[in-house]
Amino acid sequence: MARQVAERSDTIPALANVFRTYGFDGASLAVITEHTGLGKGSLYNFFPRGKEEMAEAVLDEVDGWFRSEVFEPLRAESVPPRQRIQSMFATAGDYFRSGQRICLFGAFALGEERNRFGARVRTYFDEWTAALEAALVGAEDSIGLAEEAVAGIQGAIVMSRALDDGAVYSRVTTRLEDRLVQALTP
């Protein structure tokens, strides 16, 4: 598929797709060339340090998206906590397409990619958990609940991918959402 490319950031969505599908090792420059529509020369022009820089750019982009679309809304004190939490599950479900789309940070945490990008991976999970904990105001053991929910979403992705069944993701995350909302109003 040819793509209209004018600047570096235009390639990020395609690169994200490639790394999600093939992992860091499996994403060969041949595959990247095909999916971005850019030759090696152009790619090295945008990303002088090669594949590693491409992956870093993708992780930064995804992290930025979660920051503005998930983490910050979780801390928006003008919105009722219950609504913030429900929005988080809705947004995450859309993003991960009910488990049909994997979490790059989760996959990199399991794979050998953790050696290269461990700091970014850790930050992502730390921030998500902390933001969710902030939304669980007044709930008992808000830290444990937040931790369980973030881990549960990752597990839901793993399992729905394993069974190739998006319904698993929906069922598991709905249970999590119910439990968190429940904890808010004892």
Among 152, 170, 181, 183, binds a second copy (CB under 8 A): 152
102: contact with DNA by CB under 7 A: no
What phi-psi label fits residue 60: left (phi over 0), alpha (psi between -120 and 50 degrees) or beta?
A: alpha
- Judge whether 55 and 12 are in contact, CB under 8 Å: no
Of the candidates 3, 75, 82, 122, which one interacts with a second copy according to CB under 8 A? 122
Judged by CB, which is closer to a second copy: 50, or 144? 144
d(CA 71, CA 91): 11
Among 39, 50, 80, 118, binds a second copy (CB under 8 A): 118
Instruction: Fill in the per-residue mask, 154 to 173: x = in contact with a second copy (CB under 8 A), - = not in contact.
Output: xxxxxx-xxxx---x--xx-
Residue 52 touches which member of a second copy, DNA, none, C-beta under 5-8 Å by kind: DNA
What letter would DSSP give residue 98? G
> Is there binding between residue 119 and DNA (CB under 7 A)?
no
Q: Does 146 bind a second copy (CB under 8 A)?
A: no
Residue 33 token pair: 């060339």
Taking alpha carbons only, the member of 85, 89, 64, 63 closest to residue 76 is: 85
Stretch 75-114 residues interacting with a second copy (CB under 8 A):
102, 105-107, 109-112, 114
Contacts of residue 127, defined as CB under 8 A and 6 or more positions apart, other chains included, come to 66, 67, 71
Q: With CA atoms as reference, report the closest residue to 128 among 75, 81, 176, 181.
A: 75
Q: Which of 12, 17, 44, 116 binds DNA (CB under 7 A)?
A: 44
The binding site for DNA (CB under 7 A) comprises: 5-6, 27-31, 37-42, 44-46, 48-52
